[in-house]
Amino acid sequence: MKVSYKWVKEFIENFDEDIETVVEKLNETGLESTYEKFGNYIPNLTTVKILSIEKHPEKDNLLVCRATDGSKEYQVITAAKNVKEGDIVVLAKEGAVINGIEIKPVKFGSLTSEGMFLSFEELGIEIPSEGLFILGKDAPIGVDASKLLDLGEDYIIELEITPNRGDALSVRGLAREIAAIFGKKRTEKLPVVSILQENIPEIQVETDKLNRYRAVIVENVKVNVSPLDIQLKLIKSGQKPINNIVDITNFILLQEGQPLHAFDLDKLEGEIHIRQASEGEKIVALDGNEYTLNKNDIVIADDKKAVAIAGIIGGDNTKVDENTKNVLLEAANFDPSSVRKTAKRLGISTDSSYRFERGVDIENLPNAQDKAIELISSTAGGRAVGESDVHINVYKPKQVKLREKQIKRVLGAEIPKEKCSELLNRLEIPTEIVEDGTLSEIPAFRAYDLEREIDLVEEVGRLTGFNNLEETYPSISTENFNYPDYFKLEEKIRKFFISNGLTEVLTYTFSSEEDHQALGLPKPDIEIINYILKSQSLMRNNLAVSLINTLKENIKYGSKDLSVFETGTVFFDDHEEYRIGILLTGKFIDGYTFSKEKQQLNTTEKWDFLKVKGLINSFFEYIGIKNLNVNLPQLQFLNKYEAVKFLKGNTELGYIGKIHPKTAKNLEIPEDTYIGEFYLKYVSRDLKEPDHKPYIYDLIKEKEEIVYNEIPKFPSVKRDLAFEAEEDFSVGTLLDEIPKTCKLIKKVKLFDVYFLGNGRKSIAVSVEFNAGDRSLTDEEVNQMVEDLVNKLNEKFGLKLRK
């Protein structure tokens, strides 16, 4: 809400604080606000009355006007369409500077223009409007227009309220708040109106979403330009003046916070009904849009048709226009949540709906409406001839007690009950002192947010000023000062990959069905209903989709090499998981070649399967998970001949592999891209974690502590052995088997794999024997080697090569 500071000051007795202090205090006490100067003083502007308008003899689109400032006549040529004889407008005389251009007499064809009539925009006022600013008929002519319009004189306060402070959404409410902050008195001139009972509107209430409906018929109004004061206040609030009737309803809404609506009485047929809309009922609103309603929406209707969407916007069919003679002025109070639901569904927010949603003071309704009637009578003539007030939910003030000890418990400061009472009374919350605190009667304008003791603690606290409370330091009862195991593990993992040259990425957890389809992965379980982009409408069930998108983006940015990882969330119907995702492609050392005589060097290193697998082995070693098995992953997007799955026992811990060339081609990513995922932690949505298969985190928790083993006192004996095997025989099987055959074998190291042709290969290993407590003799070792060879021959048909 934007309002003029001058306007607010009209409502506070003897108040002239500077704007900066006022806005600072508003912020400190809970109303977020800013201010700016209203326009800038422009010299050489005057007000003039249009005497005559003629078409330009030579130029079709121009008008030649004669205007007077009361003593001097001007000939002004304008292209504006909205000017009429008798209008009062602002004239920029010779010497005025408008939008950086100095005004001088200018010739249009054979005629000279002695100045320029101004629009809002040319006056430096931000109002979306075409044409000239037509001032109210009461505006004096021949005066300094900048001064008359307060340009550079007034300030505009812009208020952004929290949802609980609907009471501040008016000049009156803001004045009440400022008066309380500064300990001043709010003033108000009460309206004096007499309403006859000649033509009483008939009201039928057919819904329970209405609290009060008061309709007043005003006859014989003259629709015209509003008086300058009303125009100016609306303009300062960023609103365009329309005509006196409409302007007065907007003016009262801003001043009192009570939305009003004026219907053209002669366009209404029969009685007024406040009812549910029928399913599919349509209405063209004042904004020109047609809205389709349903049973949950409340409308104002006559016997034949809906004439307004209750509390939100009026209908075009009954709007006040220049020919309107008689009006029905509505002041109502609707159920906030009903207005909210309808406004939200229809996607409209009006000044009216904004206030109803946040709660409007039901008790100020007649006061606000009477002020409007008073203004209509004084500016548009007319007589109030009939009133009907259906008051369904009469406000019953609630008593709320505030204990001194509760202030102390919450704020940590002693604020005596006398002080509390004073502060609350300043806020116009009638409060008396009782034995252990205060007792308040909550007024209707705060009915929506003051209900409990804690609400009053807040009122006292904010007016006292949070910045005036001195800091204290609680002693925190805690079991430890350490990270939980999971966070330590995650940190360790990040450190490992970062030190090994991988950069950490942070991708959106959103994805699309196409992302998953491209990898042959199932469609994710969790779908966003109201997504922003279709491509971000599913919660991913794996990290590969996100990492591939990262790669694609970086290819766009011109980089071919990428080594990245992420620890991120993936989603399933009944749980979530934290995973580590890895994507590696191209070089991990972008080096150079070096040649000198016989020395040939290339420092570049590229990812290949064994390096990738080595990285993962090294990762598991780093976090202390030993004795893993490998297997082939069943993933369509991987090249099954260069992919591996890691298992601990039967538990799958993750996979990594080279992308399938077909997938690479489809996705337009390099063929040497390696993708992996490792399953870090199960995240439960229930308070109690259900049973689930183990994740890396669970293995870490169960990990055995490392205990020191004595270093062998006697040297090991090494034997190099080469076995001949089928070409398809897996080397890993041999390496795993050898230590199992004999307790004294301490280490096996592969040193050569050689393909012999004829479908056979040679696998050479170095085997280390140690008995621990003594030296082994040659004979003993020979015997063990022989046993080993026999066992391998029995089990796998391997032969020792000579």
Partner 1 sequence: MQIKENIEALEKEYQEKLKNIKDLKQLQDIKTELLGKKGKITSLFKLLKEVPPEKKKEVGALINSVKAKFEDILKEFEKQLTEKELEEKLKKSKIDITLPGAWVSPGAPHPVTATLRYISDIFVSMGFKIEEGPEVELEEYNFDMLNIPKDHPAREMQDTFFINKKGYVLRTHTSPVQIRAMLKQKPPLAVIAPGKVYRKDLDPTHSPMFHQIEGLVVDENITFRDLKGILKIFLESVFGKNIPIRFRPSYFPFTEPSAEVDIGCTVCKGKGCRVCKNTGWLEILGCGMVDPNVFEAVGIDTEKYTGFAFGLGIERITMLKYQIPDIRLLFSNDMRFNLQFKGI
Q: Which of residues 530-549 bind partner 1 (CB under 8 A)?
A: 530-532, 536, 539
> To the nearest whole angstrom, how small is the minimum distance from the Cβ of residue 165 to partner 1?
7
Minimum distance between the CB of residue 169 and partner 1, rounded to whole angstroms? 12
**Closest to partner 1 by CB, 540 or 761:** 540
Binders of partner 1 among 727-756, rule CB under 8 A? none
DSSP string, 244-288: HHHHHHHHHHHHHS--EEEEEGGG--S-EEEEEPPTT-EEEBTTS
476 Cβ neighbours under 8 A, 6+ residues apart: none
* Residue 112, both tokens: 């000279």
Site residues for partner 1, 393-422, by CB under 8 A, read 409-413
C-alpha–C-alpha distance, residues 379 and 782, integer Å: 120
For partner 1, the closer of residues 99 and 477 by Cβ is 477
Q: Report, in Å, the least distance between residue 625 CB and partner 1.
A: 22
CB of 542 to partner 1, least distance (A): 15
- Least Å from the CB of residue 109 to partner 1: 47
Residues 179-208 binding partner 1 (CB under 8 A) are none
* 323-342 residues near partner 1, rule: CB under 8 A: 336-337, 340-341
Nearest C-alpha neighbor of 504 from the set 619, 590, 582: 582
Residue with tokens 């004042």: 286
Q: Which is nearer to partner 1, 102 or 527 (CB)?
A: 527
CB of 488 to partner 1, least distance (A): 10
Residue closer to partner 1 by CB (options 56, 462) is 462
Site for partner 1 in 589-608 (CB under 8 A): 589, 591-592, 594, 603, 605
Question: Which of 82-90, 468-476, 689-697, 705-713 is the region at the interface with partner 1 (rule: CB under 8 A)?
Answer: 468-476
Q: Please tell me whether residue 503 adopts helix, strand or coil conformation.
A: strand
Least Cβ distance, residue 465 to partner 1 (angstroms): 9
91 or 612, CB closer to partner 1?
612
From CA 711, how far away is CA 672, in angstroms rounded? Answer: 44
Residue 277 contacts residue 306 (beta carbons within 8 Å): yes
Taking CB under 8 A as the binding criterion, the range among 91-99, 170-178, 424-432, 470-478 that sits at the site for partner 1 is 470-478
Between residues 123 and 424, which has the closer beta carbon with respect to partner 1? 424
Three-state DSSP at 238 gives coil
Binding to partner 1 in span 545-574, by CB under 8 A? 550, 553-554, 557, 559, 562-565, 569, 571, 573
The answer to whether 231 and 239 are in contact (CB under 8 A) is no
Kindly tell me which of 146 and 563 has the beta carbon lying closer to partner 1: 563
In angstroms, give the least distance from the CB of 28 to partner 1.
Answer: 6
Question: What residue type is 710 in one-letter code?
Answer: E
The backbone torsions φ and ψ at residue 320, rounded to the nearest 5 degrees and listed phi first, read: -80, 130
Secondary structure, 3-state, 317-383: HHCCCCCCCCEEEEEEEECHHHHHHHHHHHCCCCHHHHHHHHCCCHHHHHHHHHHHHHHHHHHHEEE
Q: Which is nearer to partner 1, 344 or 749 (by Cβ)? A: 344
- The region of 253-261, 290-298, 587-595, 735-743 touching partner 1 under the rule CB under 8 A is 587-595
Q: Which of 467, 593, 595, 627 binds partner 1 (CB under 8 A)?
A: 467
Half-sphere exposure of 469 (CA within 13 A, CB side): 19
Considering only residues 615 to 634 of the shown chain, the ones binding partner 1 according to CB under 8 A are: none
Report the chain's C-alpha Rg in angstroms. 41
- Which amino acid is it at 80? A
- Binding to partner 1, residues 656-685 (CB under 8 A): 683-685
CB of 330 to partner 1, least distance (A): 24
Tell me whether residue 47 or residue 464 sits nearer to partner 1 (CB atom).
Answer: 464
Q: What is the rounded CA–CA span in Å between residue 73 and residue 472? A: 73
Applying the rule CB under 8 A, the residues between 477 and 536 that interact with partner 1 are 477-484, 486-487, 491, 494, 497-510, 525-532, 536
Tokens matching residue 275: 């009812």
Position among 74, 334, 588, 679 found at the interface with partner 1 (CB under 8 A): 588
Closer to partner 1 by Cβ: residue 687 or 707: 687
Neighbours of 553 (CB within 10 A): 12
Q: Which of 362, 292, 306 is nearest to 334 (CA)?
A: 362
In sequence order, which residues have a C-beta less than 8 Å from that of residue 252 and are 6 or more positions away?
258, 260, 368, 369, 371, 372, 375
Point out which residues pair with 577 in neighbouring strands: 570, 682
Tell me the closest approach of the beta carbon of residue 467 to partner 1, in angstroms.
6
Report how far residue 439's alpha carbon sits from residue 417's, in angstroms, rounded to the nearest whole number.
10
Residue among 293, 267, 260, 261 at smallest CA distance from 279:
293
Using the minimum distance from each CB to partner 1, give the nearer residue, 485 or 720. Answer: 485
User: Torsion angle, CA of 783/787/789/790, rounded to 10 degrees?
Assistant: 140
CB within 8 A of 297, min separation 6: which ones?
A: 276, 277, 309, 310, 342, 345
Burial environment of residue 365 by CB neighbours within 10 A (0 to 12, 13 to 18, 19 or more)? buried
Site residues (CB under 8 A) for partner 1, limited to 137-166: 162-165
Q: Closest separation between CB of residue 345 and partner 1, Å?
A: 12
CA atoms within 13 A on the CB side of 727: 6
- Mask 52-91, x = binds partner 1 (CB under 8 A)? ----------------------------------------
Cβ at position 310, least distance to partner 1 in Å = 16
Are 225 and 137 a contacting pair, CB within 8 Å?
A: yes
Which of 190, 192, 610, 687 contacts partner 1 by CB under 8 A? 687
For residue 766, give every residue at least 6 positions away whose Cβ sits within 8 Å of its Cβ, in sequence order, or none. Answer: 718, 719, 720, 721, 748, 749, 751
User: Does 473 interact with partner 1 (rule: CB under 8 A)?
Assistant: yes
- Number of residues that make up the chain: 802
Identified binder of partner 1 from the candidate list 16, 470, 668, 691, rule CB under 8 A: 470
Least spacing, CB of residue 540 vs partner 1, in Å = 11
The three-class DSSP label of residue 222 is coil
Q: Which is nearer to partner 1, 483 or 754 (CB)?
A: 483
Determine which residue in the list 104, 344, 640, 692 makes contact with partner 1, applying CB under 8 A. 344
Q: Which is nearer to partner 1, 347 or 715 (CB)?
A: 347
Is 212 in a helix, a strand, or coil? strand
Binding mask 423-462 for partner 1 (x = CB under 8 A): -----------------------------x-xx-xx--xx
Nearer CB in complex with partner 1: 316/458? 458
Q: How many residues bind partner 1 (CB under 8 A)?
A: 99
Contact set for partner 1, span 23-52 (CB under 8 A): 27-30, 32, 34
Task: Tell me how far apart the terminal alpha carbons of the chain are, to the nearest angstrom.
Answer: 94
To partner 1, the closest distance from the beta carbon of 501 in angstroms equals 4
| In the complex, minimum distance from the CB of residue 344 to partner 1, in angstroms, rounded to a whole number | 7
Alpha-carbon gap, residue 794 to 732, rounded angstroms: 18
CB–CB of 193/374 below 8 Å? yes
Provide, rounded to whole angstroms, the least separation between the CB of residue 88 and partner 1: 37
- Give 466 or 751: the residue with its C-beta nearer to partner 1: 466
